[in-house]
Homo-oligomer: A and B are copies of this chain.
């Protein structure tokens, strides 16, 4: 069966790459996903799946406690669901991939048009190639290969082509609220073919630190919000230490800081010779797979409240939770889907996969926590080029991932050949 899948994939690589080029050319930043979603829907339809194209909406979705997006209107951002109903009695699987891409950024840093879809030296270039239209293609090829080599499955395969992952997963939230869940899931995000059973969640926070303005020449009459913000930074560093020292999961053994606190932005003061009366810090706190968002928020608030500084006790820094958030995700490492994926990786590639925890959030958090669908993140593409100029994906890895995913679906969903 492996040989037939492999042969089918080899025969269809050229067509698949040409489709991927077209998908990359369909620029799909947030709010512009419709074009590529129609391409996906068309491809799923041709494969023979039952296709649903729908716009995420409704009270349950928009008012959900984990709804996180910068907008309420998704009319140009439909989700696409493709369903292959099994013959019955088998375990079901979700294959989940997002089509939204981050902006291209500074065009001068790109060697080519970011939306070229150019193929050279076995790589396909362009924004979204690795994150994660290449992974989506791998999942679609896996399904198509199974169907076209005559496999039957007892369990259902549900393909999610979702929007809005880059802002915190509202697309997947909608999909699970619409009932598109399963017994487990694979998300072909660019893990560089590593297997991530645990996925770090994260939240953004903003800390506003108040000082007292004064003329710089008599700065002792004021209180510098910059100096006070250094105390805040120090407290956040201490909190990061405490939070990471207690993580003993061996999945993190090669990761220097399993759940980092990153302070990404600082802004304060408005005149060189005035004592700054306000500093704003913005950052991201990693959430461990076993933690809830609420626990992490409470711990950060407690760290701020525990700062031993008279001024800050009397003028506490204000903490806000804003912007994006990603729930952490997790599947038991002994889960049978983990075992099957690991085995099929080795059968296909000839060596054991690297099994690690992801350093970033994925839609696996929403699938696991809201959709009760434990998820593994595994896919082609190098994380290092995601969100960067000259993003690319190696075509051979797409094909390898497709083969491994196909074999795993076959085993998990109770496959049989004609």
A264 interfacial by beta-carbon distance below 8 Å: yes
For residues 185 through 205 of chain A, which have their beta carbon under 8 Å from a beta carbon of chain B? 200, 202, 204-205
In the assembled complex, the Cα of A361 lies from the Cα of B273 at a distance in Å of 11
Of B200, B206, B272, B358, the residue contacting A262 (CB under 8 A) is: B272
A305 interfacial by beta-carbon distance below 8 Å: no
Q: Please tell me which stretch of A27-35, A135-143, A277-285, A334-342 contacts chain B, meaning at least 4 of its Cβ atoms lie within 8 angstroms of it.
A: A277-285
In the assembled complex, the Cα of A308 lies from the Cα of B358 at a distance in Å of 35
> Which residues on B sit within 8 Å (CB–CB) of A233?
226-227, 230
Of B216, B217, B265, B269, the residue contacting A270 (CB under 8 A) is: B265
CB distance from A363 to the nearest CB of B (A): 15
A268 interfacial by beta-carbon distance below 8 Å: yes
Q: Mark A218-252, 1 if CB is under 8 A from B, else 0.
A: 11100010110110010000000000000000000
A276 nearest in chain B by CB position: B264
User: Does A262 lie within 8 Å of B323, measured CB to CB?
Assistant: no
In the assembled complex, the Cα of A227 lies from the Cα of B283 at a distance in Å of 13
Of B216, B268, B360, the residue contacting A266 (CB under 8 A) is: B268
User: Does B204 lie within 8 Å of A273, measured CB to CB?
Assistant: yes
Interface size counted on chain A using CB atoms at 8 A: 47
Number of copies: 2
A260 interfacial by beta-carbon distance below 8 Å: yes
User: Does B323 lie within 8 Å of A272, measured CB to CB?
Assistant: yes
User: Does A216 lie within 8 Å of B284, measured CB to CB?
Assistant: yes
> Which residues on B sit within 8 Å (CB–CB) of A220?
256-257, 260
User: Does B227 lie within 8 Å of A202, measured CB to CB?
Assistant: no
In the assembled complex, the Cα of A217 lies from the Cα of B357 at a distance in Å of 11
In the assembled complex, the Cα of A360 lies from the Cα of B215 at a distance in Å of 9
In the assembled complex, the Cα of A5 lies from the Cα of B235 at a distance in Å of 64
User: Does A218 lie within 8 Å of B359, measured CB to CB?
Assistant: yes
Q: A216-B284, A220-B256, A359-B218 are in contact. Are A202 and B273 (CB under 8 A)?
A: yes
User: Does A215 lie within 8 Å of B276, measured CB to CB?
Assistant: no
User: Does B215 lie within 8 Å of A387, measured CB to CB?
Assistant: yes
Q: A217-B202, A230-B230 are in contact. Are A284 and B272 (CB under 8 A)?
A: yes
Give A residues with C-beta under 8 Å from B: 200, 202, 204-206, 215-220, 224, 226-227, 229-230, 233, 256-257, 260, 262-276, 279, 282-284, 286, 323-324, 358-361, 387
9 closest pairs, A vs B, by CB?
A216-B262, A273-B284, A217-B359, A265-B269, A217-B360, A220-B256, A272-B282, A216-B284, A264-B272
Besides the known contacts A262-B275, A265-B271, 10 further A-B residue pairs in the complex with CB atoms under 8 A apart: A202-B216, A204-B273, A218-B360, A226-B263, A263-B276, A264-B271, A264-B276, A266-B266, A266-B269, A272-B283
A-B contact pairs, 26 of them (CB 8 A): A202-B216, A206-B272, A215-B360, A216-B260, A216-B262, A216-B286, A217-B286, A217-B359, A219-B257, A219-B262, A220-B257, A224-B262, A226-B263, A226-B266, A227-B233, A262-B274, A262-B275, A264-B275, A265-B271, A265-B272, A266-B269, A266-B276, A267-B267, A269-B282, A272-B283, A273-B284
